Amino acid sequence: MPTLVSVFDLPDDTALAIRKLKGRGFDDLESYSPAPFEQIDDAIDERPSKVRAFTLVGGLTGVFTGFLMQIWMSWEWPIKIAGKNFASIPPYVIIGFELTILFGGILTLIGFLLVGRLYPRPLDKAYSSRFSAEEFGIAVTVGDRDVAEVDALLRSLSAKEVTLLDD
């Protein structure tokens, strides 16, 4: 299946092109952007990123770990300190809070790596260093018969260049 790589100058044009392509049923596409632009990311996928679930799970795990660890350890070898209860909740809030943040942060990082598919790997053929300069790219994989149509469509949507990658 051939892949068409088009280059754009402005984020709004890129987002528009993605929406038009999707509207015509060309769903197998990827955008490359040098900086975060919500319009492009939303055009690719409207749904909020799944990273948020990771943070929630991490935070909840942290808060339960923090409190349960302290309460259990206080009971396991009870020593009276300053006449307070063995498991006294107010001072435990601090470590409970810190572990909430710690586990939440670590799980958020893991979520970022998994959701963004970030691990050392070969880069896409369509990717080039232009897209880490100041240009935007869309790589769309289409059927052989549609190449001419998509090429014309992209050029009409202010693409600076359209190149064909064959594989």
Partner 1 sequence: MTPPPATAAVDMMRPTTVPQDSQINRDVMSVTKGVSWQWGLLLSMALIGVAQAIFTLAYQTYVGLGIAGYQSPVFWGVYIINFVFWIGIGHAGTLISAILFLFRAKWRNAINRGAEAMTVFAVLTAALFPLIHIGRLWKFYFLIPYPNQRALWVNFKSPLLWDVFAINTYMLISIIFFFVGLVPDIAIARDRATGIKKVAYTLLALGWQGTGRQWKAHNRTVLHLAGLATPLVLSVHSVVSWDFAMSIVPGWHATIFAPYFVAGAIFGGFAMVLVVMIPVRRIFRLEAYITDYHFDNMSRFILFTSLICGYAYGAEYFIAWYSGVEFEQTSFWLRLFGPYWLSTWFMISFNVLFPQLLWIKKLRTNVPFLFVLCVFINIGMWFERYVIIITSLSREYIPAAWGLYIPSLAEMSILLGSFCWFSMFFLLFLKFLPIIAIAEMKELIIHDKAHAAQESH
Residues 64-93 that bind partner 1 (CB under 8 A): 69-70, 73-74, 76-77, 81-82, 84, 88, 91-92
CB of residue 159 vs partner 1: minimum separation in angstroms? 14
CB of residue 91 vs partner 1: minimum separation in angstroms? 5
CB closer to partner 1 out of 25 and 36: 36
CB closer to partner 1 out of 20 and 130: 130
DSSP the chain: --EEEEEESSHHHHHHHHHHHHHTT---EEEE-SS--HHHHHHH--SPPTHHHHHHHHHHHHHHHHHHHHHHHHHHS----TT--SS-HHHHHHHHHHHHHHHHHHHHHHHHHHHTT-SS-PPPTT--GGGGTT-EEEEEE--GGGHHHHHHHHHHTT-SEEEEE--
| Residues of span 29-68 touching partner 1 by CB under 8 A | 30-38, 40-41, 43-45, 48-52, 55, 59
Decide if residue 156 touches partner 1 (CB under 8 A): no
CB closer to partner 1 out of 6 and 145: 6
Q: Of residues 131, 141, 153, 162, which one binds partner 1 by CB under 8 A?
A: 131
Decide if residue 123 touches partner 1 (CB under 8 A): yes
